[in-house]
Structure 1
């Protein structure tokens, strides 16, 4: 360490250190901006390649295990099954009505049936057991319909939380 003889020398040294810190900070900001731009470009390229692959694979039966899945889509089969047992001859109409109602709930960004739970060191998103809509659905139509809605909700939350609509994934 340098021996400082006067207040002026101390102020000069302090000013030099401050200027060096400012230069380093500006350099780091520039690097951060450059890296952010590179990340955005890489992500755009990756998304474009992903879309092309999905479009190329859509509807094709391959002998491999690669396919396209619609993540966050609500499955109508449990609704048909539950309504068939509950409504008899009107089952198809009731199933479509119920399915449409719940599909619109899924797309509604104002409905937030999630809760954060700390598991070990990290927090996880789970469905809120106390959500009235979900409780009523489970009580009235059973576990299969509830499970279909729960699966779609959790997939949407994981894959597209801001858009609240299904996405295609490889």
Structure 2
């Protein structure tokens, strides 16, 4: 009986298993483990491909940066060389123009003198022709009178008297002609040397013009390199080391501190932002001009000045401390807030006085001064060699 029940149970379980396999995806534990291993292996392979791709992108970015660094270094060297060549070219150019002004009148005078000598040569040839004809006539007359005897001597004496002044005149003309030709040859030789010098100087000036054209193109390249450096600093700059400073912007911290002392702490930041916005709009207005000039040794209020050399007297351009808006600001919020406004105003005047827009400047925050392209390159080299580089960061400061 038990055997029959066991057999029926086994047959029923077998049919149940077949029904489950027909309608469901039944897997053993071993199959599930193998499938999980294949899935994990595929994920690892995909991650390895992604990492390799990211490494290739980082290497390409590094290569691009090194290329940019070399280009900026070449541009900086060309700019220095161009400045030196421009200084060296100014003096020869002035000397060449002065030399042209001296030589041209001399050349005109020599041309006129040559024309005069040519006219005298024509006169001399006419005189020689007349003299030759006279001699021929005398010779014919002498031959005719040979038969007359005594009358021949008298006639010869008369002809000699006639010929003597004409011979003297001919000799004088020949001497004058020879002298003029010698002077003209000397002048022509000196003029040839001067003209050769002028031609050499003109060729040099042409070379200088070509060099200036090259320098202009190089300067344009330097300007483009500056723009690229500023754009890179906007993305990868650090406000504690090297980054972007907007010249003419007002520092907010002193305003917030002053508003906390004067207004309720909950509304101090809103009040500070509103007043800063009003002052920024006022400073952008070209009509806002709170400056004055004093002689050397005058009151350079808080060191906010510009030096201007005019005539024989040196004066200083300083902030006008009697400006009504600045006086009112000093009375209401204090000297630290006033310093932020005067600093922003002087930065606008220094970097872009036309229209006074905010201007992005590469800035060394450690030294609190504008930095050069070379230092920007060194900064990028430092972050590339350190762990602070993060590929793909967008408009984000590097910590």
Q: Take 2:292 and 2:267, find their aligned partners in 1: how far apart are those partners?
A: 36
1:92-118, CA deviations, whole angstroms, 9 ceiling, x for partnerless residues? 221111111111111111111112334
User: Structure 1 residues 132 and 69, CA, compared in 2 at 3 Å: closer, same or farther?
Assistant: same
Instruction: Say which one has the larger Rg.
Output: 2
**Residue matched to 1:110:** 287
Q: Take 1:38 and 1:119, find their aligned partners in 2: how far apart are those partners?
A: 42
**Residue matched to 1:7:** none
| 3-state SS of paired residue (1:69) | strand
How far apart are 1:59 and its partner, in Å? 3.7
Gap regions ≥5 residues in structure 1: 1-12, 20-26
**Residue matched to 2:77:** none
Question: Contact 2:237 / 2:244 at 8 angstroms: preserved in 1?
Answer: no
Q: Take 1:124 and 1:36, find their aligned partners in 2: how far apart are those partners?
A: 35
Does 2:328 match 1:136?
Answer: yes
Q: TM-score, normalised by structure 2?
A: 0.32
How far apart are 1:37 and its partner, in Å? 6.4
User: Structure 1 residues 83 and 61, CA, compared in 2 at 3 Å: closer, same or farther?
Assistant: same
User: Structure 1 residues 66 and 76, CA, compared in 2 at 3 Å: closer, same or farther?
Assistant: closer
Does 2:347 match 1:155?
Answer: yes
Question: Contact 2:294 / 2:317 at 8 angstroms: preserved in 1?
Answer: yes
Q: Take 1:125 and 1:39, find their aligned partners in 2: how far apart are those partners?
A: 34
How far apart are 1:72 and its partner, in Å? 1.3
Map 1:20-169; keep pairs closer than 5 Å: 41-61=217-237, 66-88=242-264, 89-119=266-296, 122-169=314-361
Which structure: greater helix fraction? 2
Q: Take 1:109 and 1:39, find their aligned partners in 2: how far apart are those partners?
A: 34
| 3-state SS of paired residue (1:81) | helix
Q: Take 1:81 and 1:71, find their aligned partners in 2: how far apart are those partners?
A: 22
Question: Contact 2:329 / 2:338 at 8 angstroms: preserved in 1?
Answer: yes
| 3-state SS of paired residue (1:129) | coil
Aligned Cα root-mean-square deviation (Å): 3.1
How far apart are 1:124 and its partner, in Å? 3.3
**Residue matched to 1:8:** none
How far apart are 1:53 and its partner, in Å? 0.6
User: Structure 1 residues 36 and 157, CA, compared in 2 at 3 Å: closer, same or farther?
Assistant: farther
**Residue matched to 1:16:** 105
User: Structure 1 residues 61 and 93, CA, compared in 2 at 3 Å: closer, same or farther?
Assistant: closer
Q: 36-45 or 99-108: which moved more?
A: 36-45
| 3-state SS of paired residue (1:147) | helix
Q: TM-score, normalised by structure 1?
A: 0.70
Question: Contact 2:247 / 2:351 at 8 angstroms: preserved in 1?
Answer: yes
How far apart are 1:57 and its partner, in Å? 2.0
Q: Take 1:52 and 1:159, find their aligned partners in 2: how far apart are those partners?
A: 18
Q: 152-161 or 84-93: which moved more?
A: 84-93
Count the aligned residue pairs: 146
